[in-house]
Structure 1
Amino acid sequence: MTGEFSAELYKYELPPELIAQTPAARREDSRLLILRRKNNSLEHKYFRDIVDYLEPQDLLVFNDTKVLPARLLGRKETGARCEVFLLKQLDAARWEALVKPGRRLTSGSVVRFGADFSAVILEKLSDGRRRVEFSFAGDFWEKLRCYGQTPLPPYIKTVTERSRSDRLALAERYQTVYAKTPGAAAAPTAGLHFSPELLDKIEAKGTAKTFVTLHVGTGTFQPLQTADIREHRMHAEEYFFPEQAMQAVRECRARGGRVIAVGTTSARVLETAAEQILRGEKISAPQGSTSLYIYPEYQFKIVDALITNFHLPGSTLLLLVSALAGREKILAAYQEAIRQRYRFFSFGDAMLIL
């Protein structure tokens, strides 16, 4: 397809060596590219400098989701190795999951992870998902902590070559320091740059903060599925928007501050509830699922600025930041980041779009 809605317009060439395989030594030591939309200027900083770009009247909105140790490696009763990847909890023992190998894990198949921890495949769902039921002794979450692995993005290639202690350290860095609510299959990576010390400096400056929850799904890594970006269908993700966060947003707008979303996930929660925020209503459904798809021509209603990482070519995340800043400005900023050897994707560097 040709024209302004062609998915091909959101492709760019990234040297493979710029895909970050490990995080910065300290969270706040990542680089930070400042993009000012009004004059299309770029500034090169470090993430610790972000305090200088915040004002006391501003509000930072964080996503406090916590990545589950969602990858379970086990064996069928035949001894064949297999994998169950948890997506969504349905009740105390049942989950939606992805399984490998999909063709061999049919309904009734049993996967054992330990002597007292197993799962049976109940049925096949759409999009390759399965409904599974776990059998376990004791507490399920303790079993998951014991047998599960934190899923890292597929473009991080060095994980299997590392020692167990290194893998655990990497998994710890794949959580935000304020992660609280378990349920994500992937991290809200813009938040990975914040350390407790940096949060203290932001608080000392007087900038307010609040928390929402959006459980990031595996769909965050999926490229656009259609040649016309308007025809893509977004995966649904569970969110929670507490009343205190809603009130914090309203107070920020009333005092003339900027609502700064920490990550595209926080931005999607804010925009999902935008109409109720603008009408001043009490949020009627603080918890639910959102499949809000933000692409160019979308008019942001709540988000004034965005902290975000550098996103994959042809991804819905790249479309979201393009909706905020404009496709040409974003791709020009990405090309400058490539020239300056910024590090890309989950463990990479960050942008602040003002």
Structure 2
Amino acid sequence: MKEELLTRSYDYALPEELIATTPVYPRDHAKLLVYDRKTDTVTHTTFQHLLEFVPQECDVFLNDTRVIKARIFGSKKAIDNQEGGKVELLFNKPLDAQHYLVLIRGKVKLGTELLFDDGLTAKVTGLNDDGSRVVTFSHHGKVIRFEALILVLDKIGHIPLPPYMQREDKEEDETDYQTLFAQKAGAVAAPTASLHFTPELFAALKQKHKTHTLTLHVGAGTFKPVEAEEILDHPMHSEYFDIPEASAKVLESDTPLLAIGTTVTRTIEYYARTKKRHGECDLFLNPMNPPQRVTHLLTNFHLPKSTLIMLVSAFIGREKTLYLYKEAIEKKYRFFSYGDAMLIL
């Protein structure tokens, strides 16, 4: 069987001290590994030099999703004078106008009511096999919709830092874990390749290249490890996306594209295959399903055996990906969400 199909083939050993738990300041002082596929060359530089490498004749696509304070702490409603235990809830996404997909730490049954600050309550209406839960939210006794829920979460919630950071969120994370161009609330994880831009570098990018936005609300599934022995048996998570008409027109052209991040890449590639401008994106890019539309990719360094390292392998192959990761480790690059970046040309 091809090595490309085996999940264990995407594993690598990462020293713990290379997991970034805070960003580099200024943000564009992060390291940048540039890999040029045409010449098969590697350059080590810093993110502030990004524009020296991006080909002049290419348009740039960005994800304008905004991370919400999706993590809330509360307790189960007391029943028969039995005190309810503590719970932690991670909002994932709306399923319809009143039902939401969430993850809950703490045992719950159908009908369990959860109490949070500011008069917010959640009622468990569904238990899924994968461990996720379905709830309805009420605020001061009235069922609320997503737009109103976000405002309450903003008051009482916490920024949902990835589990591998192994720390609680701090005030700085409210800006650190949000892109400069975050607009549309709905993500529970940041599109991290975009976190390296400073206002100055972003202004320079917009001066030099045409930039376009799309929205993909990154879900908790992005951190879900691939547990299947073969990668194609992995049930890919789906995330809501929306592509404005003007952006879709560019995707229909033959203009070379730089995708800022894996979320942008998946959205563009989903559109290339389906022509859908909004809906749920569940595209799994890997060496058996390579990109058709994205020309260049800017991304961070991803978890072993994750769908994201498989996405990078879709561009440059599994062996080259692991080779570049090994080189990055030797050169003490910082990994994951707050870590350094890689530009694939």
User: What TM-score do the two structures reach when normalised by structure 1?
Assistant: 0.89
Cα offsets for 1:79-132 (capped at 9, x unmatched): 42101211112345431211111xx31122111112522112122133112221
Question: Which range moved further: 292-301 or 305-314?
Answer: 292-301
Identity among equivalent pairs (%): 39
Deviations 1:239-268 (A, max 9, x none): 1111111123345x2xxx421111111001
Distance 1:4 1:302, change over 3 A: closer
* Gap runs ≥5 in structure 1: 161-166, 277-282
Question: Could you give the per-residue CA deviations for residues 20-60 of structure 1, whole angstroms, max 9, x where no partner exists?
Answer: 01001122111100011123211011111011112442111
* Residues 94-173 of structure 1 mapped to structure 2, 5 A cutoff: 94-101=99-106, 104-137=107-140, 139-159=148-168, 167-173=170-176
Please tell me whether residue 249 in structure 1 is matched to residue 247 in structure 2.
no
1:225-250 deviations in Å (ceiling 9; x for gaps): 21112222211111111111112334
CA contact (8 A) 2:303 2:336 kept: yes
Q: 1:233 to 1:142 in 2, by over 3 A?
A: closer
Deviation at 1:149, TM superposition (A): 0.9
Task: Please tell me the residue identity of whatever aligns with 1:43.
Answer: T
1:195 aligned partner, one-letter code: T
User: Using the alignment, how far apart are the partners of 2:210 and 2:112 within structure 1?
Assistant: 51
The structure-2 alpha-carbon separation of the partners of 1:115 and 1:305, relative to structure 1 and needing over 3 Å to count, comes to closer
Whether the 8 Å contact between 1:239 and 1:289 is mirrored in structure 2 is yes
1-side partners of 2:149 and 2:216: how far apart?
22
- Paired position in structure 2 for 1:231: 233
Q: Which amino acid aligns with 2:206?
A: E
Aligned pair partner of 1:211 in 189, 199, 213: 213
CA contact (8 A) 2:118 2:152 kept: no
Q: Distance in 2 between matches of 1:17 and 1:153?
A: 16
* Equivalent residue number for residue 86 of structure 1: 91
Q: 1:294 & 1:318 partners in 2: Cα distance?
A: 10
Aligned equivalents of 1:140 and 1:19: distance in 2? 33
Deviation, 1:66, is 1.0
Q: CA RMSD in A?
A: 1.8
Matched AA of 1:189: T
Secondary structure of the residue aligned to 2:322 is helix
Between stretches 196-205 and 259-268, larger displacement belongs to 196-205
CA contact (8 A) 1:40 1:329 kept: no
Q: 1:4 to 1:123 in 2, by over 3 A?
A: closer
Structure 1 SS opposite 2:180: coil
Aligned twin of 2:258 = 260
Contact conserved, 1:94 with 1:131, CA < 8 A, in 2? yes
Q: In 1, Cα distance between the equivalents of 2:344 and 2:122?
A: 45
> More displaced, 75-84 or 137-146?
137-146
Aligned to 1:19: 19
Does residue 1:332 correspond to 2:334, yes or no?
no
Distance 2:95 2:317 in 1: 39
Counterpart in the other structure of 2:286: 295
Maintained 8 Å contact 2:57/2:256: yes
Q: Note the alpha carbon deviations across 1:264-308, whole angstroms, 9 max, x for none.
A: 1100111111146xxxxxx5x421011111111323210111000
CA contact (8 A) 1:233 1:293 kept: no
Matched residue SS, 1:155: helix
The one-letter code sitting in structure 2 at the alignment partner of 1:150 is I
- Give the secondary structure class of the aligned counterpart of 2:218: coil
Cα–Cα, structure 1 residues 230 and 116, in superposed 2: closer, same or farther, change >3 Å?
closer
- Which residue does the alignment assign to 2:38? 38
Does the Cα contact within 8 Å between 1:152 and 1:171 map onto a contact in 2?
A: no
Query: Paired residues, what number?
Result: 334
- SS for the counterpart of 2:48 is helix
Aligned counterpart, 2:75: 75
What displacement does 1:347 show? 0.2
CA gap 1:250/1:53 in 2 versus in 1, 3 angstroms? farther
Q: Helix, strand or coil: the match of 2:283?
A: coil
| Distance in 2 separating the partners of 1:275 and 1:116 | 44
Mapping for residues 270-349 of structure 1, pairs under 5 Å: 270-275=268-273, 285-349=276-340
Q: Match of 2:8?
A: 8
Native 8 Å contact 2:93 2:102 kept in 1? yes
Distance 1:92 1:146, change over 3 A: farther
